[in-house]
Amino acid sequence: MRRCPSSSPEKATGIVQAFARFLLSQHSPALRCIIHSDDIALHYPLIVDFAELLDFDPALAQLLFSHPADVLPLFDQAARLSQGIVIDGTEGYEGSCGPKEFVHVRVDVAGSPLESPETFPSIGRLRVKHRGILVTVKGTVIRSGAVKMIEGERGSKFCEGTSFQFVADTIVCHDYQEIKIQESTHVLGVGCIPRSIPIILLDDLVDVVKAGDDVIVTGVLSAKWSSDLRDVRCDLDPMIISNHVRRTNELKSEIEIPDDIIRKFEQFWSDFKDTPLKGRNAILRGICPQVFGLFTVKLAVALTIIGGVQYVDASGTKVRGESHLLLVGDPGTGKSQFLKFAAKLCNRSVITTGLGSTSAGLTVTAVKDGGEWMLEAGALVLADGGLCCIDEFDRFDIVLVLLDTKNPEWDLVVSSHILSEKGESEREKDDTEDLARTTVRMLESLIRLAQAHARLMFRNEVTLLDAIAAILCIESSMTTSAIVDTVGNALHSNFTDNPDQECILLSESLVIFLEDYRISIN
């Protein structure tokens, strides 16, 4: 059993003073910001880098690592003490605000020795030896509970005898939330079951993450009694009382592309100014390079990852900008390789099999935990705003493939049956509605893919070239195609030596195709 470093008031005071010196030396601007805030009831975080503390005071950093449950409350005391010192040393301080009572020191271990495997174990390798020290775990949030209020402390006084009497207006309450994180499937071996662990969030940490976020949690490993179930032994279940939570998957809108990366893109496309499709194909060759050829598939994967632009149509309905891609085919054609590669490219991605990455499967499920119903996110929810890759999509018992083989005899029988069931006018109306719906869906897919191709080509405007590439992908989805059949099917499609020149020939084929399509619908 580790000896508590703050077992005496003198040692506790020494820890508070030592950390106050660190805060005044390294974090005075952050303290001033807290002091000048208006809300005195708010809980304020004070982010401290463990590496910075280790350089300033190695002994104090070691105490924090070995006894976080005892030292962190003293650090919070030091934060309150430091505010008063900052106020006393500030000339012209008007006192309109003042020191805040609820300041919590949050320790970020990024870039410090605490990122070693001993103090940064995977969730499945957490053991009793990690209890009591400052540990850090990484995972994906699969469950997010409701924010609750818990009572932290209350004042009381002796009454007659041995009882206590509650003192009014002395209750200190805290925001409380419980989440569950699961090991990322990216780091697990084949056949391994991902482990999960509950995380307790308090005060300013509540509601900072949601289901699907990849997070790094620093805190103290503890335990709680498992749910009281009939005929089930009540055990101690591990949990982590968090001190710091960092989200690692930034969404598209939050990503800032460095200027040097933008300049590299500009230089790249400048080099291929006269042959843009050759430049595009240079990028496509980098997609799943271990798979030979499959040009059409690589183009489709790239456009799906990049995505188009969400817009609102004339009726006010939001039309999604992301495309959906289904790869089906014989074993050994590289489908799983494309899924794994695509998942690695995205900041927020989930790759799973048809059996599901969590007990929630692909969507969401309601689970009962400790007498309370909670929603647990499935693969599609976890990948919201990112990419969801589903491999081996076979949770099906019967698979029926319906193909129109264009059998004239069968078509005659079916058409005769339809005509006998409904009148000619009704049939023509239904055919018109079906054609309209099909045309709209095709146009929406064409728009999404053309927008994505424009982004791939580092442009903000969609051109005829983008439309041709989009039509190529759509045509590749069909069993027979006047355009794609000229270069072979998707499995045998390969990169060409002169894509820009061949695009002219493809444009001519497209014109012929559109003429035929116009004649057919007229």
Domain ranges for the chain, please list them. 11-112, 116-154+169-254, 272-407+435-516
CATH of domain 272-407+435-516: 3.40.50.300
Are both 11-112 and 272-407+435-516 of the same fold?
no
User: Which of 3.90.1150.200, 2.60.40.420, 2.40.50.140, 1.10.10.10 would CATH assign to domain 116-154+169-254?
Assistant: 2.40.50.140
Is 379:352 a contact under the CB 8 Å cutoff? Answer: yes
Number of Cβ within a 10 Å radius of residue 123? 19
Predicted confidence (pLDDT) at residue 499 exceeds the cutoff of 70 = yes
479 vs 105, more confident: 105
Alpha helices in 384-463 (DSSP H): 408-421, 424-456
Is 324:309 a contact under the CB 8 Å cutoff? Answer: no
Model confidence band, residue 488 (pLDDT cutoffs 50, 70, 90): very low
The listed range with the strongest mean pLDDT (87-101, 185-199, 231-245) is 231-245
Percent of the chain with pLDDT over 90: 1
Predicted confidence (pLDDT) at residue 398 exceeds the cutoff of 80 = no
Closest CA to 299 of 498, 509, 481, 466: 466
* Average pLDDT of the chain to the nearest whole number: 76
170 vs 412, more confident: 412
Model confidence band, residue 120 (pLDDT cutoffs 50, 70, 90): confident
Average pLDDT estimate for 354-378: 65
Model confidence band, residue 356 (pLDDT cutoffs 50, 70, 90): very low
Predicted confidence (pLDDT) at residue 192 exceeds the cutoff of 60 = yes
103 vs 373, more confident: 103
Number of Cβ within a 10 Å radius of residue 104? 20
The listed range with the strongest mean pLDDT (263-277, 420-434, 480-494) is 263-277
Phi, psi of 506, deg, nearest 5 = -65, -35
Q: Name the E strands within 145-257.
A: 148-153, 156-158, 164-166, 172-182, 196-202, 214-225, 236-247
pLDDT of residue 448: 86
Predicted confidence (pLDDT) at residue 516 exceeds the cutoff of 60 = no
188 vs 297, more confident: 297
- The architecture CATH gives domain 11-112: 2-Layer Sandwich (3.30)
pLDDT of residue 245: 92
* Of 152-156, 168-172, 386-390, 426-430, the least confident: 426-430
The two tokens of residue 69 are: 């449950």
379 vs 14, more confident: 14
Q: How far is CA 202 from the centre of its chain?
A: 22
With both helix axes pointing from N to C terminus, report the angle between 464-476 and 499-521 in degrees, rounded to the nearest 10: 70
* Of 117-121, 307-311, 402-406, the least confident: 402-406
Percent of the chain with pLDDT over 70: 71
Model confidence band, residue 201 (pLDDT cutoffs 50, 70, 90): very high
